[in-house]
Copies of this chain bind each other. A is one copy, B any other.
Amino acid sequence: MIRVGVIGYGYWGPNLVRNFMEAQGSTVVAVCDLKPERLAMVQNRYPSIRTLTNWRELLNDPDIDAIAVATPVSSHFELAMAALAANKHVLVEKPLASTCEQALQLIDEAARRQRVLMVDHTFVYTGAVRKIRELIASNALGEIYYYDAVRVNLGLFQHDVNVIWDLAIHDLSIIDYVLPSRAVAVSATGISNIPGQPENVAYITLFFANPQIAHVHVNWLTPVKVRHTLIGGSEKMILYDDLEPSEKVKIYDRGVTVSQSPEAVYEMLVSYRSGDMWAPRLDATEALLTEALHFIDCINNGTKPETDGQAGLRLIQIVEAAERSLRARGKLIEI
């Protein structure tokens, strides 16, 4: 039984507590937060859980095997580092840290101490994204042409991080998980419409070594919510709409066929193909429960996390490059 301590009981912490309580093989023994009223909620819901305001005290508890960090981004590095130093396994809410440098230190520390270091890229653990990875891995789509994601709504305006760190990181983590190739360069644009506030609109293009492109559009200020991803391949195409209640992933047998015949040169080099559409049944397990079980398995059996420190590092590299590009109005930044 893995005994978990959770630091941070704001927006995401309650979900971590609930799932580590529910998962076979783990239990939550302590929750730490600076605000007493948040701890009172823990007490009310889970009288068995110890609550405290000093996270150092939590880390000193020899009874705790693993720490889950769900605090503001700026504190991720310090808390995760201290937890590793106390020989705890660590799960960190996305992003892993604020800089690549910090991420590298965390990876090193975890390796040195042989602790599990995992980032909470939640979407990687959804039935939809896992099905998409499976389809791409089995080559069902053929050659991948493009990946296009839109994640916009009138969402919570953050003050410490911009819309890339807040929203785009979800799509970047999905891209990292489902596409076999890695981005080599990035061009991004965006704007801050509210003076003195972080960027609230961003457009990020990822370039790859092969002729393939990915694009992510994120925006905190749209009147409607959109979660719409298109993946085009030479054989099949996917529409992944996360707002659909049940058919989130649709696979279209549509595309183009390129004629090689010389006679076709002037007219119809490219012809169209239109076939069936198919929406597979998806695993409906809550993503965070799948993730909690995976974390427990990594601790117990030495399994490599699907969202390990390296994955966390790769995303921060892209985000940092995207931010630099955005501030230089689209300038190409190599990764």
Contacts and interface: CB of A to CB of B under 8 A. Distances in A.
A255 B217 contact: no
A325 interface: yes
Which of A197, A252, A255: most chain B Cβ within 10 A? A252
A281 B270 contact: no
Given A191-B211, A281-B276, A252 B237 contact: no
A215 B192 CA distance: 15
A47 interface: yes
A193 B143 CA distance: 10
A311 interface: no
A221 B146 contact: yes
Given A223-B239, A256-B157, A272-B154, A145 B193 contact: yes
A111 interface: no
Interface string A185-226: 101011111101100010101010001110101010111110
Contacts of A145: 191, 193, 201, 221
A279 interface: yes
Contact of A193 (B185, B193, B211, B328): B211
9 contacts: A145-B191, A157-B270, A193-B212, A194-B256, A221-B256, A222-B230, A224-B252, A275-B281, A278-B279
